[in-house]
Protein backbone atom coordinates (compact mmCIF):
# COMPACT_ATOMS: atom_id res chain seq x y z
CA UNK A 1 0.00 0.00 0.00
CA UNK A 2 1.41 3.41 -0.94
CA UNK A 3 1.75 6.18 1.58
CA UNK A 4 -1.01 8.09 -0.19
CA UNK A 5 -3.37 5.13 0.03
CA UNK A 6 -2.46 4.64 3.68
CA UNK A 7 -3.27 8.26 4.41
CA UNK A 8 -6.63 7.96 2.66
CA UNK A 9 -7.52 4.97 4.80
CA UNK A 10 -6.48 6.50 8.12
CA UNK A 11 -8.77 8.87 10.00
CA UNK A 12 -5.76 9.99 12.04
CA UNK A 13 -3.71 11.51 9.22
CA UNK A 14 -2.19 14.97 9.54
CA UNK A 15 -5.08 16.71 7.73
CA UNK A 16 -7.66 15.33 10.19
CA UNK A 17 -5.51 16.15 13.23
CA UNK A 18 -4.75 19.71 12.13
CA UNK A 19 -8.36 20.33 11.04
CA UNK A 20 -9.54 19.12 14.47
CA UNK A 21 -7.08 21.40 16.29
CA UNK A 22 -8.09 24.27 14.03
CA UNK A 23 -11.74 23.77 14.84
CA UNK A 24 -10.80 23.48 18.54
CA UNK A 25 -9.35 27.01 18.44
CA UNK A 26 -12.27 28.20 16.29
CA UNK A 27 -14.86 27.00 18.82
CA UNK A 28 -12.87 28.42 21.74
CA UNK A 29 -13.04 31.85 20.09
CA UNK A 30 -16.59 31.49 18.75
CA UNK A 31 -18.12 30.53 22.11
CA UNK A 32 -15.94 32.70 24.31
CA UNK A 33 -18.37 35.61 24.28
CA UNK A 34 -21.30 33.42 25.33
CA UNK A 35 -19.18 32.07 28.19
CA UNK A 36 -17.87 35.42 29.45
CA UNK A 37 -20.87 37.55 28.43
CA UNK A 38 -21.97 38.30 32.00
CA UNK A 39 -18.59 39.12 33.64
CA UNK A 40 -17.31 41.08 30.62
CA UNK A 41 -20.42 43.24 30.31
CA UNK A 42 -20.57 43.71 34.08
CA UNK A 43 -17.00 44.97 33.87
CA UNK A 44 -18.13 47.49 31.24
CA UNK A 45 -20.71 48.81 33.74
CA UNK A 46 -23.94 47.34 32.29
CA UNK A 47 -27.02 46.51 34.35
CA UNK A 48 -28.71 43.09 34.42
CA UNK A 49 -31.24 44.12 31.77
CA UNK A 50 -28.51 45.66 29.60
CA UNK A 51 -26.40 42.52 29.92
CA UNK A 52 -29.32 40.52 28.49
CA UNK A 53 -30.27 42.99 25.73
CA UNK A 54 -26.80 44.18 24.71
CA UNK A 55 -25.52 40.60 24.98
CA UNK A 56 -28.11 39.53 22.42
CA UNK A 57 -27.07 42.46 20.20
CA UNK A 58 -23.39 41.50 20.35
CA UNK A 59 -23.97 37.80 19.65
CA UNK A 60 -26.24 38.69 16.71
CA UNK A 61 -23.56 41.03 15.36
CA UNK A 62 -21.00 38.23 15.61
CA UNK A 63 -23.38 35.90 13.76
CA UNK A 64 -23.85 38.48 11.00
CA UNK A 65 -20.06 38.51 10.58
CA UNK A 66 -20.13 34.73 10.30
CA UNK A 67 -22.83 34.94 7.63
CA UNK A 68 -20.81 37.39 5.51
CA UNK A 69 -17.55 35.55 6.16
CA UNK A 70 -19.11 32.25 5.16
CA UNK A 71 -19.77 33.54 1.65
CA UNK A 72 -16.37 35.25 1.39
CA UNK A 73 -14.26 32.31 2.53
CA UNK A 74 -16.37 29.71 0.73
CA UNK A 75 -15.89 31.42 -2.62
CA UNK A 76 -12.16 31.89 -1.99
CA UNK A 77 -11.74 28.24 -0.91
CA UNK A 78 -13.07 27.03 -4.27
CA UNK A 79 -11.13 29.65 -6.25
CA UNK A 80 -7.80 29.78 -4.40
CA UNK A 81 -7.74 26.54 -2.39
CA UNK A 82 -8.82 25.09 0.93
CA UNK A 83 -5.48 25.73 2.66
CA UNK A 84 -5.32 29.39 1.60
CA UNK A 85 -8.59 30.03 3.42
CA UNK A 86 -7.49 28.11 6.51
CA UNK A 87 -4.40 30.33 6.78
CA UNK A 88 -6.10 33.66 6.04
CA UNK A 89 -9.16 33.14 8.24
CA UNK A 90 -7.18 32.08 11.30
CA UNK A 91 -4.97 35.18 11.07
CA UNK A 92 -8.07 37.37 10.91
CA UNK A 93 -9.91 35.89 13.88
CA UNK A 94 -6.75 35.64 15.97
CA UNK A 95 -6.07 39.36 15.52
CA UNK A 96 -9.75 40.02 16.23
CA UNK A 97 -9.64 38.17 19.51
CA UNK A 98 -6.53 40.02 20.63
CA UNK A 99 -8.30 43.30 19.81
CA UNK A 100 -11.28 42.11 21.89
CA UNK A 101 -9.08 42.22 24.95
CA UNK A 102 -8.88 46.01 24.64
CA UNK A 103 -12.56 47.02 24.07
CA UNK A 104 -14.10 49.63 26.36
CA UNK A 105 -17.67 50.07 25.05
CA UNK A 106 -20.52 47.88 23.80
CA UNK A 107 -20.19 49.28 20.26
CA UNK A 108 -16.47 48.51 20.21
CA UNK A 109 -17.22 45.03 21.53
CA UNK A 110 -19.82 44.41 18.81
CA UNK A 111 -17.60 45.79 16.03
CA UNK A 112 -14.66 43.56 16.97
CA UNK A 113 -16.88 40.50 17.36
CA UNK A 114 -18.25 41.24 13.87
CA UNK A 115 -14.72 41.24 12.42
CA UNK A 116 -13.81 38.13 14.41
CA UNK A 117 -17.00 36.49 13.16
CA UNK A 118 -15.92 37.03 9.56
CA UNK A 119 -12.61 35.32 10.33
CA UNK A 120 -14.20 32.46 12.26
CA UNK A 121 -16.47 31.64 9.33
CA UNK A 122 -13.71 30.07 7.26
CA UNK A 123 -12.36 27.40 9.58
CA UNK A 124 -14.96 24.62 9.67
CA UNK A 125 -16.15 24.53 6.05
CA UNK A 126 -12.69 24.57 4.52
CA UNK A 127 -11.45 21.98 7.04
CA UNK A 128 -14.41 19.61 6.50
CA UNK A 129 -14.08 19.97 2.72
CA UNK A 130 -10.36 19.20 2.83
CA UNK A 131 -10.84 16.14 5.05
CA UNK A 132 -13.81 14.91 2.96
CA UNK A 133 -11.74 15.07 -0.22
CA UNK A 134 -8.60 13.52 1.27
CA UNK A 135 -10.22 10.55 3.06
CA UNK A 136 -11.70 7.48 1.39
CA UNK A 137 -15.48 7.80 0.94
CA UNK A 138 -16.14 4.94 3.39
CA UNK A 139 -14.25 6.72 6.18
CA UNK A 140 -14.89 10.41 5.66
CA UNK A 141 -17.94 10.40 7.98
CA UNK A 142 -15.79 9.19 10.87
CA UNK A 143 -12.99 11.61 9.94
CA UNK A 144 -15.23 14.66 9.87
CA UNK A 145 -16.93 13.57 13.11
CA UNK A 146 -13.54 13.37 14.81
CA UNK A 147 -12.74 16.87 13.55
CA UNK A 148 -15.97 18.22 15.06
CA UNK A 149 -15.87 16.08 18.20
CA UNK A 150 -12.34 17.12 19.13
CA UNK A 151 -12.83 20.67 17.91
CA UNK A 152 -16.02 21.34 19.84
CA UNK A 153 -14.25 20.60 23.12
CA UNK A 154 -12.63 24.02 22.65
CA UNK A 155 -15.66 25.38 24.49
CA UNK A 156 -14.63 23.40 27.56
CA UNK A 157 -11.20 25.04 27.50
CA UNK A 158 -12.86 28.45 27.13
CA UNK A 159 -14.93 27.82 30.26
CA UNK A 160 -11.91 26.80 32.34
CA UNK A 161 -9.98 29.83 31.09
CA UNK A 162 -12.91 32.00 32.20
CA UNK A 163 -12.81 30.38 35.65
CA UNK A 164 -9.09 31.08 36.09
CA UNK A 165 -8.33 34.26 34.14
CA UNK A 166 -9.72 37.74 33.60
CA UNK A 167 -12.06 37.91 30.59
CA UNK A 168 -9.62 40.12 28.66
CA UNK A 169 -6.86 37.57 29.19
CA UNK A 170 -9.16 34.86 27.81
CA UNK A 171 -9.34 36.74 24.52
CA UNK A 172 -5.55 37.15 24.43
CA UNK A 173 -5.16 33.39 24.97
CA UNK A 174 -7.51 32.70 22.06
CA UNK A 175 -5.49 34.92 19.76
CA UNK A 176 -2.26 33.24 20.85
CA UNK A 177 -3.65 29.76 20.24
CA UNK A 178 -4.60 30.81 16.71
CA UNK A 179 -1.11 31.95 15.82
CA UNK A 180 0.37 28.75 17.28
CA UNK A 181 -1.91 26.77 14.97
CA UNK A 182 -0.47 28.48 11.90
CA UNK A 183 2.81 26.58 12.33
CA UNK A 184 1.00 23.21 12.31
CA UNK A 185 -0.78 24.08 9.06
CA UNK A 186 2.49 24.15 7.10
CA UNK A 187 2.65 20.33 6.90
CA UNK A 188 -0.88 19.86 5.48
CA UNK A 189 -1.25 19.12 1.75
CA UNK A 190 -3.91 20.60 -0.53
CA UNK A 191 -6.74 18.43 -1.84
CA UNK A 192 -5.91 16.50 -5.02
CA UNK A 193 -9.49 16.95 -6.25
CA UNK A 194 -9.10 20.72 -5.96
CA UNK A 195 -5.77 20.65 -7.82
CA UNK A 196 -7.44 18.79 -10.69
CA UNK A 197 -10.35 21.26 -10.91
CA UNK A 198 -8.05 24.28 -10.47
CA UNK A 199 -6.25 23.42 -13.71
CA UNK A 200 -9.51 23.30 -15.68
CA UNK A 201 -11.65 26.12 -17.08
CA UNK A 202 -14.69 25.08 -15.01
CA UNK A 203 -16.35 27.87 -13.01
CA UNK A 204 -15.15 27.68 -9.41
CA UNK A 205 -16.62 29.21 -6.26
CA UNK A 206 -19.46 31.01 -8.06
CA UNK A 207 -21.91 31.63 -5.20
CA UNK A 208 -24.66 32.61 -7.65
CA UNK A 209 -24.65 29.07 -9.06
CA UNK A 210 -26.65 28.02 -5.98
CA UNK A 211 -29.48 30.21 -7.23
CA UNK A 212 -29.45 29.84 -11.04
CA UNK A 213 -30.55 26.21 -11.04
CA UNK A 214 -33.71 24.96 -9.29
CA UNK A 215 -32.27 21.59 -8.30
CA UNK A 216 -29.08 23.12 -6.95
CA UNK A 217 -30.99 25.78 -5.01
CA UNK A 218 -33.22 23.10 -3.48
CA UNK A 219 -30.17 21.10 -2.35
CA UNK A 220 -28.57 24.23 -0.90
CA UNK A 221 -31.66 25.42 0.98
CA UNK A 222 -32.33 21.99 2.48
CA UNK A 223 -28.67 21.73 3.55
CA UNK A 224 -29.18 24.90 5.62
CA UNK A 225 -32.58 24.09 7.10
CA UNK A 226 -31.54 20.68 8.49
CA UNK A 227 -29.08 22.46 10.80
CA UNK A 228 -31.42 25.08 12.32
CA UNK A 229 -31.80 23.44 15.79
CA UNK A 230 -28.07 23.71 16.52
CA UNK A 231 -27.85 27.46 16.94
CA UNK A 232 -31.32 27.86 18.40
CA UNK A 233 -30.20 25.56 21.21
CA UNK A 234 -26.82 27.26 21.74
CA UNK A 235 -27.66 30.85 20.82
CA UNK A 236 -30.97 31.08 22.69
CA UNK A 237 -31.60 28.25 25.17
CA UNK A 238 -28.07 27.64 26.49
CA UNK A 239 -26.59 31.14 26.14
CA UNK A 240 -29.61 32.62 27.95
CA UNK A 241 -30.12 29.73 30.36
CA UNK A 242 -29.70 32.15 33.28
CA UNK A 243 -32.69 34.20 32.11
CA UNK A 244 -34.78 31.08 31.43
CA UNK A 245 -33.87 29.74 34.90
CA UNK A 246 -35.05 32.96 36.56
CA UNK A 247 -38.41 32.69 34.76
CA UNK A 248 -38.76 29.06 35.92
CA UNK A 249 -37.85 29.83 39.56
CA UNK A 250 -34.78 27.58 39.44
CA UNK A 251 -33.13 27.35 42.87
CA UNK A 252 -29.81 29.19 42.70
CA UNK A 253 -28.15 31.26 39.97
CA UNK A 254 -27.28 29.60 36.66
CA UNK A 255 -23.87 30.47 35.21
CA UNK A 256 -24.34 30.76 31.40
CA UNK A 257 -20.65 29.98 30.87
CA UNK A 258 -20.99 26.73 32.76
CA UNK A 259 -24.16 25.90 30.82
CA UNK A 260 -22.27 26.43 27.54
CA UNK A 261 -19.47 24.20 28.81
CA UNK A 262 -21.89 21.38 29.69
CA UNK A 263 -23.64 21.77 26.33
CA UNK A 264 -20.39 21.58 24.41
CA UNK A 265 -19.18 18.51 26.25
CA UNK A 266 -22.47 16.99 25.07
CA UNK A 267 -22.03 18.32 21.53
CA UNK A 268 -18.47 17.01 21.34
CA UNK A 269 -19.53 13.52 22.43
CA UNK A 270 -22.59 13.70 20.17
CA UNK A 271 -20.53 14.58 17.12
CA UNK A 272 -18.27 11.57 17.61
CA UNK A 273 -21.29 9.34 18.30
CA UNK A 274 -23.27 10.53 15.26
CA UNK A 275 -20.36 9.67 12.98
CA UNK A 276 -20.19 6.15 14.37
CA UNK A 277 -23.99 5.76 14.22
CA UNK A 278 -24.02 7.00 10.62
CA UNK A 279 -21.29 4.50 9.77
CA UNK A 280 -23.18 1.68 11.51
CA UNK A 281 -26.49 2.51 9.82
CA UNK A 282 -24.81 3.31 6.47
CA UNK A 283 -26.97 6.43 6.40
CA UNK A 284 -26.53 10.11 7.21
CA UNK A 285 -30.28 10.74 7.36
CA UNK A 286 -31.16 7.96 9.81
CA UNK A 287 -28.48 9.19 12.20
CA UNK A 288 -29.79 12.74 11.80
CA UNK A 289 -33.39 11.76 12.67
CA UNK A 290 -32.17 9.85 15.74
CA UNK A 291 -30.39 12.93 17.05
CA UNK A 292 -33.37 15.16 16.26
CA UNK A 293 -35.36 12.91 18.59
CA UNK A 294 -32.79 13.36 21.35
CA UNK A 295 -32.92 17.14 20.81
CA UNK A 296 -36.70 17.16 21.29
CA UNK A 297 -36.34 15.18 24.54
CA UNK A 298 -33.74 17.71 25.70
CA UNK A 299 -36.02 20.62 24.84
CA UNK A 300 -38.93 19.04 26.72
CA UNK A 301 -36.71 18.64 29.80
CA UNK A 302 -35.32 22.19 29.52
CA UNK A 303 -38.76 23.83 29.31
CA UNK A 304 -40.01 21.87 32.33
CA UNK A 305 -37.35 22.80 34.90
CA UNK A 306 -39.70 24.79 37.16
CA UNK A 307 -38.31 24.79 40.68
CA UNK A 308 -35.31 22.59 39.75
CA UNK A 309 -31.79 23.21 41.04
CA UNK A 310 -28.99 24.66 38.90
CA UNK A 311 -27.28 21.30 38.40
CA UNK A 312 -30.37 19.91 36.68
CA UNK A 313 -30.30 22.91 34.30
CA UNK A 314 -26.69 22.07 33.41
CA UNK A 315 -27.56 18.42 32.76
CA UNK A 316 -30.48 19.46 30.55
CA UNK A 317 -28.06 21.67 28.60
CA UNK A 318 -25.72 18.68 28.27
CA UNK A 319 -28.52 16.56 26.77
CA UNK A 320 -29.49 19.40 24.43
CA UNK A 321 -25.84 19.56 23.39
CA UNK A 322 -25.61 15.83 22.75
CA UNK A 323 -28.84 15.92 20.74
CA UNK A 324 -27.59 18.77 18.54
CA UNK A 325 -24.21 17.04 18.19
CA UNK A 326 -24.90 16.41 14.52
CA UNK A 327 -22.89 19.45 13.39
CA UNK A 328 -20.24 17.37 11.61
CA UNK A 329 -22.76 15.20 9.80
CA UNK A 330 -24.86 18.10 8.53
CA UNK A 331 -21.77 20.01 7.31
CA UNK A 332 -20.42 16.80 5.74
CA UNK A 333 -23.79 16.34 4.00
CA UNK A 334 -23.50 19.89 2.63
CA UNK A 335 -20.05 19.05 1.24
CA UNK A 336 -21.33 15.80 -0.25
CA UNK A 337 -24.29 17.49 -1.97
CA UNK A 338 -22.12 19.48 -4.41
CA UNK A 339 -19.32 19.07 -6.96
CA UNK A 340 -15.67 19.92 -6.30
CA UNK A 341 -15.94 23.38 -7.91
CA UNK A 342 -18.67 24.41 -5.42
CA UNK A 343 -17.99 22.06 -2.51
CA UNK A 344 -16.02 24.41 -0.25
CA UNK A 345 -18.44 27.26 -0.99
CA UNK A 346 -21.31 25.02 0.15
CA UNK A 347 -19.54 23.54 3.18
CA UNK A 348 -18.41 27.00 4.34
CA UNK A 349 -21.56 29.01 3.66
CA UNK A 350 -24.09 26.42 4.89
CA UNK A 351 -22.94 26.27 8.57
CA UNK A 352 -22.54 30.04 8.61
CA UNK A 353 -26.01 30.53 7.13
CA UNK A 354 -27.23 28.41 10.05
CA UNK A 355 -25.25 30.55 12.49
CA UNK A 356 -26.56 33.69 10.78
CA UNK A 357 -30.11 32.36 11.01
CA UNK A 358 -29.89 33.08 14.73
CA UNK A 359 -30.78 36.67 13.82
CA UNK A 360 -34.10 35.52 12.30
CA UNK A 361 -34.70 33.04 15.13
CA UNK A 362 -34.11 35.86 17.61
CA UNK A 363 -36.65 38.06 15.79
CA UNK A 364 -39.24 35.28 16.08
CA UNK A 365 -38.38 34.63 19.73
CA UNK A 366 -38.46 38.30 20.80
CA UNK A 367 -41.47 39.08 18.59
CA UNK A 368 -43.50 36.35 20.26
CA UNK A 369 -42.77 37.91 23.64
CA UNK A 370 -45.16 40.75 22.77
CA UNK A 371 -47.97 38.19 23.01
CA UNK A 372 -46.59 35.36 25.17
CA UNK A 373 -44.31 34.91 28.15
CA UNK A 374 -40.56 34.34 27.92
CA UNK A 375 -40.86 30.54 28.33
CA UNK A 376 -43.88 30.19 26.05
CA UNK A 377 -42.09 32.16 23.32
CA UNK A 378 -39.15 29.76 23.57
CA UNK A 379 -41.45 26.74 23.28
CA UNK A 380 -43.27 28.08 20.21
CA UNK A 381 -39.97 28.98 18.54
CA UNK A 382 -38.65 25.46 19.25
CA UNK A 383 -41.76 23.83 17.73
CA UNK A 384 -41.55 25.95 14.56
CA UNK A 385 -37.87 25.18 14.08
CA UNK A 386 -38.22 21.42 14.61
CA UNK A 387 -41.14 21.18 12.16
CA UNK A 388 -39.12 22.99 9.47
CA UNK A 389 -36.09 20.83 10.20
CA UNK A 390 -37.92 17.48 10.08
CA UNK A 391 -39.55 18.32 6.74
CA UNK A 392 -36.22 19.50 5.31
CA UNK A 393 -34.39 16.36 6.42
CA UNK A 394 -37.08 14.16 4.89
CA UNK A 395 -36.66 15.93 1.55
CA UNK A 396 -32.83 15.83 1.63
CA UNK A 397 -31.03 13.21 -0.48
CA UNK A 398 -28.96 10.50 1.23
CA UNK A 399 -25.22 11.08 0.67
CA UNK A 400 -23.55 8.22 2.57
CA UNK A 401 -20.75 6.70 0.46
CA UNK A 402 -21.25 9.15 -2.39
CA UNK A 403 -18.35 9.60 -4.84
CA UNK A 404 -17.19 13.23 -4.62
CA UNK A 405 -15.00 13.35 -7.72
CA UNK A 406 -17.37 15.36 -9.94
CA UNK A 407 -18.17 19.00 -10.74
CA UNK A 408 -21.25 21.19 -11.01
CA UNK A 409 -21.97 22.35 -14.57
Sign of the CA dihedral running 362, 364, 365, 367: positive
Q: Is residue 310 part of a domain?
A: yes
Mean pLDDT (10-residue bins), the chain, 409 residues: 47 76 86 88 93 89 89 86 80 93 95 93 78 74 79 85 94 92 69 59 81 94 96 92 95 91 90 89 94 98 96 97 90 88 87 85 95 96 97 94 81
- Domain assignment present for 407: no
pLDDT reported for residue 2: 38
- Cα torsion for 132, 138, 144, 146, to the nearest 10°? -150
Q: Contact at 8 Å (CB) between 357 and 224?
A: yes
What is the distance between the alpha carbons of residues 20 and 143, in angstroms, rounded to a whole number?
9
On whether residue 196 sits in a domain, the answer given is no
Residue 392: predicted pLDDT: 97
Residue 191 lies in a domain: no
Q: Are 393 and 295 in contact (CB under 8 A)?
A: no
Nearest 5°: phi and psi at 309?
A: -95, 170
Domain containing 275 equals: 9-184+207-395
- What CATH number is given to the structural domain containing 273? 1.20.1250.20
Question: Is 195 inside a domain boundary?
Answer: no
Cβ pair 305, 313 in contact under 8 A = yes
Q: How many structural domains comprise the chain?
A: 1
Backbone phi, then psi, for 183, in 5-degree steps?
Answer: -70, -35
Indicate whether 190 belongs to any domain. no
Q: Does some domain include residue 404?
A: no
- Report the pLDDT value the prediction gives residue 1, as an integer from 0 to 100: 36
* Residue 250: inside a domain: yes
Question: Would you say 109 and 60 are in contact if contact means Cβ atoms under 8 Å apart?
Answer: no
Beta bridge pairs of residue 309: 251
Amino acid sequence: MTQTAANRNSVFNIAVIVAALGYFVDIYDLLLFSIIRVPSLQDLGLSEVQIRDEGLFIINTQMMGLLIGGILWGVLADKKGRLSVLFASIIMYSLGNIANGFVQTVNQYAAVRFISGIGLAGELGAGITLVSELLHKDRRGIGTSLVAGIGLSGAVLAYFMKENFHWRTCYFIGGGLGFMLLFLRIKVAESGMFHHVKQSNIKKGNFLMFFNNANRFRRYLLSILIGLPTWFVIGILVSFSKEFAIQMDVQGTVDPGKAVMYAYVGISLGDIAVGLVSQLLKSRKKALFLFYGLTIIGMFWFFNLQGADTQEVYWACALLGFGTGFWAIFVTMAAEQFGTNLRATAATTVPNMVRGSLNLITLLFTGLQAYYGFIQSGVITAVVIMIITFISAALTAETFGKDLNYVEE
